[in-house]
Amino acid sequence: MALIVQKYGGTSVGSTERIKNVAKRIAKFQRQGHQVVVVVSAMSGETNRLIALTKEIQEQPDPREYDVVISTGEQVTIGLLAMALQDININAKSYTGGQVKILTDNTFTKARIISIEENNIRRDLNDGKVVIVAGFQGVDKDGNITTLGRGGSDTSAVALAAALKADECQIYTDVDGVYTTDPRIVPEAKKLDTITFEEMLEMASQGSKVLQIRAVEFAGKYKVKLRVLSSLDEKDAIASSGNNSGTLITIEEDKQKMEHAIISGIAFNRDEAKLTLTGVPDKPGIAFQILNAISQSNVDVDMIIQNVGRDGTTDFSFTVNRGEFEKALSILERVKLQLGAREILSDNKICKISAVGVGMRSHPGVATKLFQTLSDENINVKMISTSEIKISVVIDEKYLELAVRVLHKAFGLDK
């Protein structure tokens, strides 16, 4: 008997028909004698709909009330799924984040989980119930509803799996695993049987939408056995060892893979915007003053470049999520005045493409190949950043598809 946490994304619970199918899948696991905790997202499109409603009322919605509204989608699906299970004679009970007590900090719209109370869940599991928990939401110490950032149900599932020391955390989604790149752009993309946690983290932070970044971080930190698989796949997935469906995110690097594939995948992110402050006085503390102002407003900064100083001034560029572009721009206007910088340049028609692979550590020449491939297509590179297992470039958004395709091929991922 195993304890499994299963998470079903928006598409998997996108209609009452699909919810009934999910119930059947859960029932199968439960009848095999496993204990099952289920985390669900809102029905597909629902969270976007709720966000649009808030923006019809307030252009910059009040963060606390925003969370009150956008957390409701998950409350609908937990109830419906519990009913669907009861309807096929499975004892099931739903919980909101606050009812479990998934305690978070009070950073509305992207709160972090602090702790999870497990007593109620354990009791229900021991009574033979399937426990269904609303993803994406928690509660702060004052009882305010919080949400965990878009895609946050993945993090809810992994955090629950960590807290309950589950045998496996299964993320059911509308794709059957993690691919070498998005198959909608490159039809030759291949499903990976395994990917290391570090690679997955890079893929997620470089734009692969399969798993939320925080979920991967959590899984790595607490050594949660994490698997991504399809809920639309009829072929049954069993939690027993030897089950090779989906993609398993491993802690151990797969030695064999290291020898064969240097690059595991090409990730990309369209949601990027670039900001440059020119003519900044070149003296100590400048980077701090610029980035501190940005981070104080909870805007995440991704790539950063500072040019070589000349004539006592320098140019400073960074990228942010496109959704936070306006906010970052207005902060930068203020910083510009404070620092006496020359001007702000901005570009929100850019994208980022990354080649990711642990094999890079032991194989030189990956960067050369990447730059050559892009140059052969006359694609201009605007920013570069690297880590031990990743090379990212910022390019014009209009070249995204082309760049992904040629890189996927150049690194032999089509084969």
- Quote the least distance from Cβ 87 to ligand ASP, whole Å: 24
Residues forming the site for Mg ion (CB under 5 A): 9, 151
**Of 41 and 245, which CB lies nearer to Mg ion in the complex structure?**
41
Task: Determine the straight-line distance between the first and last CA of the chain, rounded to whole angstroms.
Answer: 39
Please report which residue ranges of 272-399 form alpha helices under DSSP H. 286-296, 325-339, 366-376
**Of 151 and 265, which CB lies nearer to Mg ion in the complex structure?**
151
Residue 126 gets the label, from left (phi > 0), alpha (psi -120 to 50) or beta, of: alpha
Which entry of ligand ASP, Mg ion, none binds 220, CB below 5 to 8 A by partner kind?
none
- Quote the least distance from Cβ 167 to ligand ASP, whole Å: 22
Q: Residue 138 forms beta bridges with which residues?
A: 146
How many chain residues touch ligand ASP (CB under 6 A)? 13
The verdict on 355 binding ligand ASP (CB under 6 A) reads: no
Sequence letter at residue 343: E
Residue 258: which residues within 8 A CB-CB, separation 6 or more? 358, 359, 362
**Of 81 and 366, which CB lies nearer to ligand ASP in the complex structure?**
81
**Of 9 and 177, which CB lies nearer to Mg ion in the complex structure?**
9
**Of 135 and 220, which CB lies nearer to ligand ASP in the complex structure?**
135
Residue 400 gets the label, from left (phi > 0), alpha (psi -120 to 50) or beta, of: alpha
**CA gap 266, 404 in Å, rounded:** 7
The verdict on 108 binding ligand ASP (CB under 6 A) reads: no
- Quote the least distance from Cβ 378 to Mg ion, whole Å: 35
Cα 61 from chain centroid?
23
**Of 136 and 172, which CB lies nearer to ligand ASP in the complex structure?**
136
Residue with tokens 């928006």: 10
**Of 10 and 220, which CB lies nearer to ligand ASP in the complex structure?**
10
Which entry of Mg ion, ligand ASP, none binds 73, CB below 5 to 8 A by partner kind?
ligand ASP
| Cβ proximity of 289 and 312 under 8 Å | no
**CA gap 112, 155 in Å, rounded:** 9
**CA gap 325, 361 in Å, rounded:** 34
- Quote the least distance from Cβ 110 to ligand ASP, whole Å: 11
Site string for ligand ASP, 139-158 (x = CB under 6 A): -----------xxxxx----
**Of 11 and 250, which CB lies nearer to ligand ASP in the complex structure?**
11
Which entry of Mg ion, ligand ASP, none binds 265, CB below 5 to 8 A by partner kind?
none
386's enclosing H/E stretch is strand 383-387
> Which of 95, 136, 172, 268 touches ligand ASP by CB under 6 A?
136
| Cβ proximity of 231 and 25 under 8 Å | yes
> Which of 6, 10, 172, 303 touches ligand ASP by CB under 6 A?
10
- Quote the least distance from Cβ 148 to Mg ion, whole Å: 11
**CA gap 177, 320 in Å, rounded:** 28
> Which of 42, 80, 192, 356 touches ligand ASP by CB under 6 A?
42
Total residue length of the chain: 415
- Quote the least distance from Cβ 148 to ligand ASP, whole Å: 8
**Contact residues for ligand ASP, defined by CB under 6 A:** 9-10, 41-42, 47, 73, 135-136, 150-154
